[in-house]
Amino acid sequence: MTTRLLSVSFLALFCASTASAQDVLIRHATVHTASAQGTLQNADVLVQGGVIRAVGSNLQAPASVSVVEADGKPLTPAFFGGITEIGIEEVSGEAETVDSAVTLATDQPMRPEFDVTLAYNPESVLIPVARVEGLGFTLLGANTGGSFIAGQGGVMRLDGGADPIGPRVLFVKLGSDVLGKSGSSRAAQWMLLDQMVGEARGRIPADSPHALLTPAGRAVLARYLAGNGRIVVNVNRAADIRQLLRWAQREKLRIAIASGIEAWKLAPEIARAGVPVFVDALADLPGDFDQIGATLQNAARLQAAGVQVSFAQFGDASHNARKIRQYAGNAVANGLPWEAGLAGLTRVPAQVLGVDDKLGTIAPGKLADLVLWTGDPLDVANVASQLWLGGRAIPMRSRQTDLRDRYLRAAGALPRAYSP
């Protein structure tokens, strides 16, 4: 079988996995609801029509409902994959397969209207790789191109659907990494942000010869300024985070912090402002001068102060989304309560991103996006034994597992490349 035929066969498998929903009763599980109900021992979950219908003990399976015996194993909501480019980046070193950033030769490089979800490919080979690890949804993020205003993204369920769910998210990056896009000064970042806000709110004439935004850009930014959607700001230095909190309070914005390596220094202020943080939980050494205060206790200190904490990776997150459990487990090993670690992969990102009516907890009425694990899901020694998305049992296979299995077989009369 050639590589091309392997890809075709995998695509057929993918399409088959997106067929009709399955009615199923999962019995005798340790159900981590990620809600106020907490963990339910020896509990059952009934799924019908792609939706959780009941959670409790000794539930009866209606006719035609298949039964899965969990034998006490953990059952959780499907996990959040972090802020990734899954579906808009296939091979990071091949430019034609990367659609996450915009760089335009124009006098108006600030393009908040840029929306990466329009380029999303639901047949990306990265999706099954993530699903095998129990991931059911991700925040599709825009990357900085010609501006520190990266553009918009949204929540994508990894169920084969082509469209985002919930409100859009606007991505902004501040600090030393984008000095070259802001006049070589952090102070200029705030100057430019203030000008863009002024344009979007009509304080600066739209026909100004120094306008930064297009008419479409002003309309999009105005929506976020009105509270319709969250602004996710990638920022690390405590001094920059302090300015961000002041700016958001002054402009009455709904923001979240991404990475936030020095966020722990301002934990009480962040908690009072109600700003969630997507933590880089493996950051323990300063990678630059914005990260001098890096500590593995960042997540624990933020959570102890009352901050909503979730997790994200920064650096090839699309191909390594499967490592998000390690981020949560690492935070737990450094003081974050286990329940908060689970919430950071389920309930918290769903709440922060405005999709908690569908995702993030195990409760009647929620989409049946569930994972059955071999053991503690925050311990990477354990694996996902079955993922359901909308009640569909997803084949726990990817192109990588197909390749693994092919080359682990004993060699036959022909080289393995010619074997089916």
Q: Looking at residues 220-248, what average pLDDT do you find?
A: 97
State the CB neighbour count (10 A cutoff) for residue 286.
14
Give the per-residue pLDDT at 21. 65
Q: Is residue 342 part of a domain?
A: yes
* Same-domain status, 90 and 110: yes
Domain boundary among 339, 357, 375: 357
Q: What is the CATH number of the domain that holds 299?
A: 3.20.20.140
Q: Is residue 373 part of a domain?
A: no
* Same-domain status, 33 and 132: no
* Same-domain status, 171 and 302: yes
pLDDT tier for residue 127 given thresholds of 50, 70 and 90 = very high
* Same-domain status, 162 and 72: no
Confidence (pTM) = 0.91
* Same-domain status, 90 and 54: no
Domain boundary among 315, 340, 357: 357
Regarding beta strands 165-173 and 149-157, do their DSSP bridges make them parallel or antiparallel, or are they unpaired?
A: antiparallel
Least confident of 8-12, 137-141, 196-200: 8-12
* Same-domain status, 292 and 397: no
Sign of CA dihedral 230, 234, 238, 241: negative
* Same-domain status, 56 and 95: no
Q: How many angstroms separate the CA atoms of 396 and 386, rounded? A: 7
Q: Is residue 337 part of a domain?
A: yes
Q: Is the pLDDT of residue 419 over 80?
A: no
Q: Is residue 418 part of a domain?
A: no
Q: Looking at residues 24-46, what average pLDDT do you find?
A: 97
Q: How many angstroms separate the CA atoms of 140 and 163, rounded? A: 11
* Same-domain status, 64 and 159: no
**Averaged pLDDT of the chain:** 91
The total number of structural domains in the chain stands at 2
Percent of the chain with pLDDT over 90: 78
At 100-118, the pLDDT tens digits run 888 886 766 889 999 999 9
At 293-328, the pLDDT tens digits run 999 999 999 999 999 999 999 888 889 998 999 999
Q: How many angstroms separate the CA atoms of 276 and 349, rounded? A: 9
Q: Is residue 268 part of a domain?
A: yes
Q: Kindly write down the DSSP assignment for every residue of 269-331, as one continuous string.
A: HHHHHT--EEE-TT--S-SSTT-TT--TTHHHHHHHTT--EEE---SSTTTTGGGHHHHHHHH
Domain that holds residue 21: 3-76+383-407
At 15-26, the pLDDT tens digits run 444 445 689 999
Sign of CA dihedral 14, 391, 353, 308: negative
Q: Is residue 263 part of a domain?
A: yes
* Same-domain status, 90 and 36: no
* Same-domain status, 126 and 69: no
Q: Is residue 287 part of a domain?
A: yes
* Same-domain status, 18 and 84: no
Q: What is the CATH number of the domain that holds 7?
A: 2.30.40.10
Q: Is residue 147 part of a domain?
A: yes
Q: How many angstroms separate the CA atoms of 378 and 383, rounded? A: 10
At 69-82, the pLDDT tens digits run 999 999 999 999 99
* Same-domain status, 237 and 342: yes
Q: Is the pLDDT of residue 7 over 60?
A: no
